[in-house]
Structure 1
């Protein structure tokens, strides 16, 4: 591969031979696993089993929906004095904890004045809505608030939450997950029963390993073999939607749940024990220090600065940790939605050995965010513990003088993102650690190293999972023949939004998209076969083939389905049974896609977001038979169909229903072709608005009910391809000269067609309105009115067969205009005026 250099094998500390690739730095590649579609939305490639890179955007305070809060009003200020300050600060914390919670979710702030505070014990924030705030971190100016831990107990200096609280499941039994496999990244799955469950309930989604899974991952071969039940993933989730026995949750599954490997269950929380899980807590603008002076050998002292357990919506902002042997921040059991922001750890001390210097430690929390943090002289600076369930994110962090690697440390942490992390002095690894420790084995699964930089990388795939190394710069090391999933090594990948996301952070791109409105559910179908037919089971089976590859459920009326294809293979999609979606969107610049609907393939109802073609030449086709309300595609209300650029959309499916749906608008500069071939007639009722581009009819009745109105805006064209127009009783309003200002707003391409007489009319708006007949004959047998003038283009013949009243005169640029009566050339201020630039005018005999 260009840019790679093979170096001689080396011997690693674990006494295995490694093959090493030196990866230089370059910029600007596109990942094959996450990239932007033509519409600018993120598109995810999935594996054949449905696993994909998860959405990490819901981590951290407020589930990512909100920025970190402003500091609540100060209620109590504590000043620095000599001696132990534990009791004075704790009393202040308790006084704020006794206050009522305000509308912003907080009670108030304890403010520490500048100075040093000796802490012989532990500061405990055990109530919601409390913030502990210092005056800064600048020790050189004297403006900092510094907590100096004294005493000999190994502890967290600040404890948030409770070490005794935990989920209470009393009154609620476990319910089995019914799907044979729930893939990585999924946010929905089927359960045996949803009785007793409602939107907003918190549940535990559990998967527990069995012996088959242990054997599949070769963990039975360890000196200390893993045992059934050792490895569990407990996903703390909130139900967001229920459809029958399918439930939707607020964050993705990060380790596949498979029946053959133990299956899974859900169980509803009945609150928390021991006072519950607290929320809305903050610690900021503080320096924490273990001992008054740095001591490399003394470990009988405070080990960590801030620990969080059984707490959610926690922010730890702009702290500095000094001399701690274990962690600057620690997210422990039942911690959730925790953000550490702009923290720094300096001068870590203690023996450089196991169980030391885990600087930013997601020990057992989930949905944790560590952003813009720095560390020096640590060991495992951005790290997770055993059985950790994601998603969790380390983003824009820097570790210098590292004494060991960054990455999942042991025993199957899943769904962790290392995004724009830089490690100097060691590696970033997601690997099989084998017998290290007491049998660490596979340390991480379904985790991602994205646009990172390190001295080296060991990223390997477990047999039942995937780990991705994407866009990262450093030395790639392969160990024991185990490899990971690599993409764009040595070249940082771009997500194309350098103004708002200059580091091309995956997390930041996902977060921005989720906070925006109208995010699509994208069906990525680029590497699959040429045809999908559901057979029995309809959308369910169809989604097992297609939908599970994007970790989604079958589409619903709230779903925007995007067929996003990067290859050139023609594909046909057949849903199987009737279904409703919010929109259908195509993004396939080099592949021709066909969505076959109606009849045996399933009627499709399209909701308010309509149909969009971002690229390529795409088709929606229907099955023959039936008409009207039993059309192949039913339109559920007013909507817009957009065909962008030079794209094309051919719809030869029948459109329904027979009740009025409002307005159907065509936008975009591309071409929409309506044929209604599958049933002969479109019977739907709607007012057409052709705002941009070309709309082509190959069937006179493709525009629907005869009373439908249609308006062609200036710059748009209605083309008749060898046919007439069947809107005998509707009004056709024309404006302008058509696409590119020529050819006509109404343009007949060939053959013999007519606008038959009826109760409808043709209206020419102000200015010149083009009617083109490229070849053949077009007869307009209904009245033409309005203040505009008629401009005839093309070499064919235009027959004016009615008594017309348009007042702007007639201009002939080419071909023939035949007036079948004296009144055909209109009356009014320009009555009978004909300007002949070219061509022939045929007038009736006297």
Structure 2
């Protein structure tokens, strides 16, 4: 007999899918307004407005598997697993480890198919080798989480990044957000294909400029950010000390706040894995009514993965469900259902973005007292949440310590909010949580859109209540609002991400990702 929770969840997913389609169809016919910041002209070309310093809304189309617009492969199955009596953890792990020894062919070793059935698992299942896909048989393949609280699937391991060669300073007085290039003192050691770290020091002057130097909670000083902000990119070309990069920047670099300066240096990675997929199955945890500080079952932890995917997953009752640290990863059709809420003011994050070029596409969540999506500290994009629907008392909220380059595109949060905000002393001094973020043609109950010093956040073509607040725990002053453009009136293009992708790679790129 089918799992009743799963069936209820599938009905919810179908309803959400139908409502998303209908809403998109209606919006397509009613979206005739134009944004002041990005205008669609002619046959779909986009014209960008720049700030006085040259910043613009970035090109988010690089988010996703293989850098966006690439079809996720259907990898042939190598072996089929059938459930056994008792704990299936070692049974599944043994097959994964065995397939990990098969030689790679075009980047893959093969897929492991879980036959229909219920697989009780009391420990974490690990995917730590290149080129492996773990595939279920749809709703009939269920991982039943048992035993002590644990993570159901761990994908990848920690990556070590070593800086090699000499570090050179950026010489531009200001590099705007959205830029594809910058000038260095000496570009002679760099060439196309090099992976680089762009390292901006966190200086006292910048922390003061951001108003983050006086955070105090319970009589104790709270530290917002220390060290440096690092953006990793790949060199496209070098000409006359100008380094051009393949993916645009999602933050600005102001020499007035970065003395002695922002540096660029080649990097070498060890421990990163590639071409990992987890698809077409369900994960069922026991109902959990806990605080986030108590032990709990979580669904998936990804770290150290490049060019991978999670798709067609149904997840029930996990807490802090999916955390992704890696790059060029697609999460497609992830459906999360809660039958009980977590307890307390601190909320778990069902989707946690801790990497770059992440695409969350057509994800659905139903639950209360959650962050539907949160970002980690110092995360830089481009990261995209596309055509997702989240039902319940929760928030899309970049969470802490200066994430940059997030697009919320065509998403619906009818019972909750979308917040680009200064979290002040919340947590342990989360402070300004995000800059250079965009909500495009979204629907939410409310928005808290605040503008960090020297940066922008945009809510464009979206509908819902505008809120204005002080920092948490303060009554005043009210913080400056970010940009609201064409509020309560959808704009063209209907999807910023899809139009940017089409302009960069053509219509086939949209077909490759299901549009």
**What TM bracket, shorter-length normalisation?**
0.7 to 0.9
| Partner secondary structure for residue 514 of structure 1 | helix
Q: Which of 44, 49, 54 is the equivalent residue of 1:50?
A: 54
Measured in 2, the distance between the counterparts of 1:507 and 1:179 equals 29
Matched position secondary structure for 1:295: coil
Tell whether the 8 Å contact from 1:219 to 1:226 is kept in structure 2 after alignment: no
1:372 to 329, 340, 362: 362
Indicate the residue corresponding to 1:240 in structure 2. Answer: 236
Query: Which residue pairs with 1:85 in the alignment?
Result: 88
Distance 1:231 1:360 in 2: 26
1:743-784 CA distance string (max 9 Å, x none): xxxxxxxxxxxxxxxxxxxxxxxxxxxxxxxxxxxxxxxxxx
Quickly say closer, same or farther: Cα 1:186–1:281, change in 2 above 3 A. Answer: same
Q: Do the aligned partners of 2:223 and 2:429 also contact (CA within 8 Å) in 1?
A: no
Distance 1:172 1:457 in 2: 45
- Taking the aligned partners of 1:511 and 1:259, their CA distance within structure 2 comes to 32
Cα distance between partner residues in 2 of 1:50 and 1:132: 45
The structure whose residues are more often helix, as a share, is 2
In structure 2, C-alpha distance between the alignment counterparts of 1:81 and 1:344, rounded to whole Å: 27
Per-residue deviation, 1:377: 0.6
Secondary structure of the residue that 1:318 maps to in structure 2? strand
The equivalent residue for 1:339 is: 330
**Match of 1:8?**
none
Alpha-carbon shift at residue 410 of structure 1 (Å): 1.7
**How far apart in 1 are the matches of 2:447 and 2:499?**
24
Deviation (angstroms), 1:117:
0.9
Q: How does 1:488-527 map to 2 (within 5 A)?
A: 488-495=486-493, 504-516=494-506
Q: What is the distance in 2 between the residues matched to 1:222 and 1:100? A: 54
Is the 8 Å Cα contact of residues 399 and 433 (structure 2) preserved in structure 1?
yes
Q: C-alpha separation between the residues in 2 aligned to 1:45 and 1:124? A: 46
> 1:167 offset after TM fit, Å?
1.1
Match of 1:73 among 73, 76, 92: 76
Equivalent position of 1:359 in the other structure: 350
Deviations 1:493-524 (A, max 9, x none): 122xxxxxxxx11001111111039xxxxxxx
* Distance (Å, rounded) in 2 between the aligned partners of 1:283 and 1:414: 27
CA 1:430–1:237 in 2, change beyond 3 Å: closer, same or farther? Answer: same
Equivalent residues in 2 for 1:305-704, closer than 5 Å: 305-327=299-321, 329-332=322-325, 335-347=326-338, 349=340, 351-353=342-344, 356-362=347-353, 364-378=354-368, 379-402=370-393, 404-479=394-469, 480-495=478-493, 504-516=494-506
Report what 1:117 is aligned to: 119
- Measured after TM superposition, the shift of residue 386 of structure 1 is 1.6
Whether the 8 Å contact between 2:132 and 2:275 is mirrored in structure 1 is yes
Match of 1:193 in 2: 186
100 and 266 in structure 1: CA distance in 2 versus 1, 3 angstrom threshold: same
Indicate how the Cα distance of structure 1 residues 353 and 314 shifts in structure 2: closer, same or farther if over 3 A, else same. farther
Aligned to 2:280: 285
Structure 2 CA distance, aligned partners of 1:101 and 1:309? 21
Q: Assess, with a 3 A threshold, how the Cα gap between structure 1 residues 205 and 303 changes in structure 2: closer, same or farther.
A: farther
Q: Cα distance 1:366–1:349, how it changes in 2: closer, same or farther (>3 A)? A: farther
CA distance in 1, matches of 2:151, 2:199: 29
Contact 1:58 1:64 in 2 (8 A): yes
Q: Structure 2, unaligned stretches of length 5 or more? A: 1-26, 470-477, 508-515
Are the equivalent residues in 2 in contact too, given 1:372–1:397 (CA < 8 A)? yes
Is the partner of 1:212 in helix, strand or coil? helix
CA contact (8 A) 1:289 1:323 kept: yes
Tell me: CA distance 1:28–1:232, structure 2 relative to 1, closer, same or farther (3 Å): farther
The TM-score normalised by the length of structure 1 is 0.53
The secondary structure found in structure 2 opposite 1:309 is strand
Q: Quick one: distance in 2 between partners of 1:264 and 1:198?
A: 19
**Unaligned 5+ runs, structure 1:** 1-24, 138-143, 496-503, 518-846
Q: CA deviation at 1:314?
A: 0.9
Where 2:161 maps in the other structure, the secondary structure is: coil
Contact in 2 for aligned 1:324/1:357 (Cα 8 Å): no
Kindly indicate whether the alpha-carbon contact (under 8 Å) linking 2:382 and 2:405 is maintained by their aligned counterparts in 1.
Answer: yes
Report deviation, 1:350: 5.5
Higher relative contact order structure (alpha carbons within 8 Å, sequence separation ≥ 6): 2
Contact conserved, 1:426 with 1:456, CA < 8 A, in 2? yes
Counterpart contact for 1:214–1:226, Cα < 8 Å: no
Aligned length, in residue pairs? 464
- Residue of structure 2 in register with 1:832 after alignment: none
Q: Is the 8 A contact 1:201 1:238 kept in 2?
A: yes
- Whether contact under 8 Å (1:231, 1:412) holds in the other structure is no
Runs of 4+ with >4 A deviation? 224-229, 298-302
Distance 1:354 1:339 in 2: 30
CA RMSD, aligned part only?
Answer: 2.0
SS in structure 2 of the partner of residue 271 of structure 1: strand
Per the alignment, do residues 336 and 348 of structure 1 end up closer, same or farther by CA in structure 2, a change over 3 Å counting?
A: farther
Give CA-to-partner distance per residue, 1:250-293, whole Å, 9 cap, x none: 11111111111113112211232xxx2111110000111223xx
Does the Cα contact within 8 Å between 1:326 and 1:355 map onto a contact in 2? Answer: no
Distance 1:228 1:399, change over 3 A: closer
TM-score (normalised: structure 2): 0.86
Which residue in 2 is equivalent to 1:608?
none
Contact 2:234 2:245 in 1 (8 A): yes
- Residues 273 and 304 of structure 2 are in contact (CA less than 8 Å); yes or no, is this contact kept in structure 1? yes
Assess if the C-alpha contact under 8 Å between 1:393 and 1:418 holds in 2.
yes
Rounded to whole Å, the distance in 2 between the matches of 1:132 and 1:481 is 47
Query: Equivalents in 2 of 1:243, 1:441: separation in Å?
Result: 39
Tell me, in whole angstroms, the C-alpha distance in 1 between the residues paired with 2:346 and 2:167: 35
Distance 1:149 1:172 in 2: 47
Please give the secondary structure, in 2, of the residue aligned with 1:308.
strand
Alpha-carbon distance between aligned partners in 1 of 2:362 and 2:112, rounded to the nearest angstrom: 25
| Structure 1 residue 194: Cα displacement | 2.1
Match of 2:18 in 1: none
Residue aligning to 1:665: none
